[in-house]
């Protein structure tokens, strides 16, 4: 490149700026054209949701469109799909764009034409939107392949909603190899953010998530003779109370962490002490070192209480997703690109969340940036949260998410 202090250097730089502005303009135009088809695809996906690791029809839809557009692709991790897009000088950079495809076991309550046709299964977390936007971005980038440099890897993954997480399976099967992406971008709908806006955050974004399963066993019996029994209800109650101290008296108050016991099952009548009580809960943390130290504390407290009260206990901690950490350098690049594409007034700051996302597996291996797409419209009553039976989106968010994903894929310089 010519030095900027020379006339030739300035002209070269001016030409580069012009080409970038033209690329952004072209992407915006094509995203707007994509909106009608994107809405149709999203509604098809929404009406035909599939649970984690069962996304056979969704995977087939993705593969059918990639085949139609001439984009090379392959299946991975059962129902996952990986595609490759080559721009100019394809070896100069490799960026991955990711979408998840699975739905949730929720009965939809929306009265809309595209309501779920599958009883008790619903796209209540917006994965239909993510898949639609990545398909649109793929089509745009493929059409404009002579106007951007590098390679873009398309990652359509299964099973984000259920351990062990589709991302972990995709990684095990080599999604981050051949070619290896130098960075990965992921997007998630945000029903608390008005449509037309997006948000980013540097560093820690979301928590890790582990599942806790505890079974307390003892000699049950007549409630009128508790001295002949091991009161499993009482033991379980002490365990629940004690576990509340794991965070409050062991974790730094400056490191967010949550432990919640969300289910207690035992007994079936008023005068029988049950021989077994089951507890289930979740543990969330923002710090990986503290996360696994807490597992040890949980095990010690549960075991000690059960033994002291004469009960037996089985404890299983199902280690789930790691926290999502946005690479600081990649975040700065992505946010700047979003400012250029959408205007700074429409790009905000994502709040810290204790929810979890298996995108965190990717960020353990390569720089990642996970951002939010505003999908709310208060004037239309579209405000219900994810994982609820009334969740829906303002579909004008689709061309925004599509265009921004394409822009990031085509334009992101990679952090050193």
Q: Express each pLDDT in 294-309 by its tens digit.
A: 999 999 999 999 999 9
> Could you tell me the end-to-end alpha-carbon distance of the chain, in angstroms, rounded to an integer?
19
Q: CB of 185 within 8 A of CB of 415?
A: no
**CB proximity list for 146: less than 8 A, separation 6 or greater:** 87, 88
290, 321, 352 - which closes a domain = 321
Q: For 190-223, how does the pLDDT look when each residue is reduced to its tens digit (9 = 90+)?
A: 999 999 999 999 999 999 999 999 999 999 999 9
Per-residue pLDDT band for 414 (boundaries 50, 70, 90) equals confident
252, 286, 321 - which closes a domain = 321
Query: 294 and 149 share a domain?
Result: no
Q: Which residues are catalytic?
A: 102, 160
Domain count, the chain: 2
User: What CA–CA distance (Å, rounded) separates 115 from 106?
Assistant: 12
Query: 290 and 399 share a domain?
Result: no
CATH number, domain containing residue 393: 3.40.630.10
Query: 136 and 266 share a domain?
Result: no
Read off the tokens for 401: 């998410």
pLDDT (average), residues 125-133: 98
Indicate the helix (H) or strand (E) that contains 215. strand 208-217
The answer to whether residue 307 is domain-embedded is: yes
Nearest to 316 by CA among 304, 301, 298: 298
pLDDT exceeds 60 at position 257: yes
Query: 25 and 147 share a domain?
Result: yes
Helix, strand or coil, per DSSP, at residue 298: helix
Helix, strand or coil, per DSSP, at residue 328: helix
286, 304, 321 - which closes a domain = 321
The answer to whether residue 400 is domain-embedded is: yes
Query: 299 and 398 share a domain?
Result: no
Query: 262 and 402 share a domain?
Result: no
Helix ranges, 200-287 (H): 232-248
The answer to whether residue 163 is domain-embedded is: yes
Query: 83 and 107 share a domain?
Result: yes
Residue 17, pLDDT score:
74
Query: 331 and 294 share a domain?
Result: no
Per-residue pLDDT band for 412 (boundaries 50, 70, 90) equals confident
Residue 416, pLDDT score:
58
Query: 247 and 138 share a domain?
Result: no
Go through 117-130 and write b for each residue having 16 or more CB atoms within 10 A of its CB, e for each that does not. eeeebbbbbbbbbb
Query: 312 and 331 share a domain?
Result: no
Residue with tokens 């307390």: 216
Angle between helix 127-143 and 56-69 (nearest 10): 10
Helix, strand or coil, per DSSP, at residue 305: helix
User: What CA–CA distance (Å, rounded) separates 215 from 278?
Assistant: 4
Q: For 324-359, how does the pLDDT look when each residue is reduced to its tens digit (9 = 90+)?
A: 999 999 999 999 999 999 999 999 999 999 999 999
CATH number, domain containing residue 218: 3.30.70.360
**CB proximity list for 179: less than 8 A, separation 6 or greater:** 84, 94, 151, 153
The answer to whether residue 135 is domain-embedded is: yes
pLDDT exceeds 70 at position 9: no
User: What CA–CA distance (Å, rounded) separates 121 from 304?
Assistant: 41
Residue 20, pLDDT score:
84
Query: 330 and 313 share a domain?
Result: no
Q: Which domain holds residue 344?
A: 7-206+324-411
User: What CA–CA distance (Å, rounded) separates 378 from 8?
Assistant: 52
Mean pLDDT for all residues in the chain = 95
Q: CB of 293 within 8 A of CB of 252?
A: no
Q: CB of 322 within 8 A of CB of 384?
A: no
**What does each C-alpha distance from 264 to 89, 257, 260, 267, 279 come to in angstroms?**
58, 22, 12, 10, 5
Indicate the helix (H) or strand (E) that contains 166. helix 166-172
The answer to whether residue 132 is domain-embedded is: yes
The answer to whether residue 1 is domain-embedded is: no
User: What CA–CA distance (Å, rounded) separates 156 from 171?
Assistant: 12
Whole-number percent of the chain with pLDDT over 70: 95
Which class for 213: exposed (0-12), middle (13-18), buried (19 or more C-beta within 10 A)? middle
Q: For 333-342, how does the pLDDT look when each residue is reduced to its tens digit (9 = 90+)?
A: 999 999 999 9
Q: For 267-297, how does the pLDDT look when each residue is reduced to its tens digit (9 = 90+)?
A: 999 999 999 999 999 999 999 999 999 999 9
The answer to whether residue 397 is domain-embedded is: yes
């Amino acid at each position: 490149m010519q030095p900027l202090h020379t006339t030739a250097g300035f002209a070269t730089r001016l030409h580069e700026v012009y080409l970038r502005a033209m690329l952004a303009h072209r992407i915006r135009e094509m995203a707007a054209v994509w909106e009608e088809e994107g809405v149709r695809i999203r509604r098809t996906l929404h009406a035909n949701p599939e649970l984690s690791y069962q996304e056979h029809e969704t995977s087939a839809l993705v593969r059918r469109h990639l085949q139609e557009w001439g984009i090379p692709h392959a299946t991975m991790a059962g129902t996952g799909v990986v595609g490759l897009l080559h721009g100019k000088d394809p070896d100069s950079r490799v960026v991955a764009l990711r979408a998840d495809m699975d739905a949730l076991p929720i009965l939809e309550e929306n009265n809309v034409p595209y309501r779920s046709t599958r009883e008790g299964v619903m796209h209540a977390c917006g994965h239909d939107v993510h898949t639609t936007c990545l398909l649109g971005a793929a089509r745009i980038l493929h059409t404009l392949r002579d106007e951007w440099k590098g390679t873009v890897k398309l990652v359509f993954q299964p099973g984000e909603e259920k351990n062990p997480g589709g991302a972990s399976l995709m990684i095990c099967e080599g999604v981050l190899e051949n070619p290896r992406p130098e960075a990965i971008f992921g997007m998630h709908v945000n029903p608390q953010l008005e449509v037309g806006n997006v948000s980013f955050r540097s560093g820690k974004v979301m928590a890790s998530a582990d599942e806790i399963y505890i079974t307390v066993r003892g000699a049950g019996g007549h409630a009128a003779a508790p001295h002949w029994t091991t009161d499993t209800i009482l033991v379980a109650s002490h365990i629940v109370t004690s576990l509340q101290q794991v965070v409050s008296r062991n974790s730094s108050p400056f490191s967010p962490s949550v432990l919640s016991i969300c289910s207690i099952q035992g007994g079936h009548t008023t005068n029988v002490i049950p021989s077994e009580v089951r507890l289930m809960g979740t543990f969330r943390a923002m710090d990986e070192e503290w996360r696994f130290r807490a597992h040890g504390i949980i095990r010690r407290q549960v075991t000690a209480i059960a033994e002291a009260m004469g009960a037996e206990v089985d404890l299983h901690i199902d280690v789930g997703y790691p926290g999502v950490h946005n690479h600081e350098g990649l975040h700065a690049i992505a946010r700047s690109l979003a400012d250029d594409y959408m205007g700074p007034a429409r790009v905000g700051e994502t709040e810290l969340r204790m929810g979890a996302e298996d995108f965190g597996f990717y960020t353990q291996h390569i720089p990642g940036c996970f951002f939010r797409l505003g999908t709310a419209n208060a004037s239309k009553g579209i405000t219900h949260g994810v994982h609820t039976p009334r969740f829906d989106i303002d579909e004008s968010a689709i061309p925004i998410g599509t265009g921004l994903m394409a822009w990031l894929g085509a334009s992101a310089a990679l952090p050193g």
